[in-house]
Structure 1
Amino acid sequence: MTVVSISMPDELADRIDEFADEHGYTGRSEVVREAARNLLGEFEDKRLEDRDLMAVVTVLFDYETTNVEEKMMHLRHENEALVAANFHSHVGDHHCMELFILEGRLDDISTFVGKVRATKDTLTVDYSVTPVDEVGPFA
């Protein structure tokens, strides 16, 4: 097995160690391996491939980290064909929320979400994906 060295804040390493202890993992390596498998498999849902999809991506970040807002603006412009709508809102006294509505294929949505997640200083990134062809007429 290949040994991989990664950097992370002490607080995150401590949380991983606590999680491993509480859930019966042999150590942090096992937790990180499982998390990596889950992340890599996240967009491998065969039921969503080759279908028209809608996705909602929600990003929360600190108001003071303007680099996040700038990166979100660049992503929006770089993905004009994918981004159907984009909203920015202030949350509380110190946070901002960026909301993206995407329309496209699974691989494009996956790439977009990956770029958002890779943006330094985001606090949370959440998303949902819905096949458009499953949306029926309203009664």
Structure 2
Amino acid sequence: MAVVSVSMPDSLLERLDEFSDEHGYTGRSEVVREAARNLLGEFEDKRLEDRKLIGVVTVLFNYETTSVEERMMQLRHEHEDLVASNVHNHVGDHYCMELFILEGTLADISTFVGKIRATRDTLSVDYSVIPVENVEETLAADSS
């Protein structure tokens, strides 16, 4: 098995060690391997391929980190055909939250989320996707 060196802040390393201990992992490597498998598998769901999807992405960051806000604006414009809506909110005393509503393919949404995750200094990136026809079926059932 290959050995890989990864840089991370001390606070994240401490959280990783605590998680490993609390959940019975044999060590950091096991946690990182599982996290990598989960991340790589997120967008490999065959049921979502070749379907129009709606995605919701939330990004939390410190408002004093203007580079994140600038990057969010850049991504919104770069992917204007994918971003159906975007909302910026202030949360607490020092944080901002960007909410993106996306409409597109799994590949497009995956690319967009990947670029957000690669943005330095984001505190949290969460997302969910659902096929458009599931939303339409739910709305039709609710109206009858």
TM-score by length of 1: 0.96
Runs (4+) of structure 1 moved beyond 4 Å? none
Structure 2 match to 1:127:
127
Provide the rounded CA distance (Å) in 2 between the counterparts of 1:125 and 1:72. Answer: 12
The corresponding residue for 1:42 is 42
Q: For 1:17, what is the secondary structure of its paired residue?
A: helix
User: Between the two proteins, what is the percent identity of the paired residues?
Assistant: 77
Work out the CA distance in 1 between the residues paired with 2:25 and 2:57: 31
My pick for the range that moved more, 49-58 or 11-20, is 11-20
Looking at structure 2, the residues matched to 89 and 117 of structure 1 have their Cα atoms a distance apart, in angstroms, of 19
Partners of 1:67 and 1:23 in 2: how far apart? 35
CA shift, 1:127, in A, is 0.9
Task: Provide structure 2 residue ranges, at least 5 long, that are not aligned to the other structure.
Answer: none
2:15: which partner in 1? 15
Which has the larger share of helix?
Answer: 2
Cα offsets for 1:18-41 (capped at 9, x unmatched): 211222211101100000000000
Structure 1 residue 54, shift from structure 2 partner:
0.4
What's the counterpart of residue 108 of structure 2?
108
The separation in 2 between residues aligned to 1:87 and 1:24, in whole angstroms, is 40
C-alpha offsets along residues 30-82 of structure 1, whole Å, 9 cap, x if unaligned?
10000000000011111111000000111111110000000001101110111
Task: Give the counterpart letter for 2:9 in structure 1.
Answer: P
Deviations 1:83-121 (A, max 9, x none): 111111111221111111100000110110011111111
Taking structure 2 as the reference length, what is the TM-score of the superposition? 0.93
1:39 match: secondary structure? helix
Q: Name structure 1 gaps, 5 residues minimum.
A: none
In the alignment of these two chains, the number of paired residues is 139
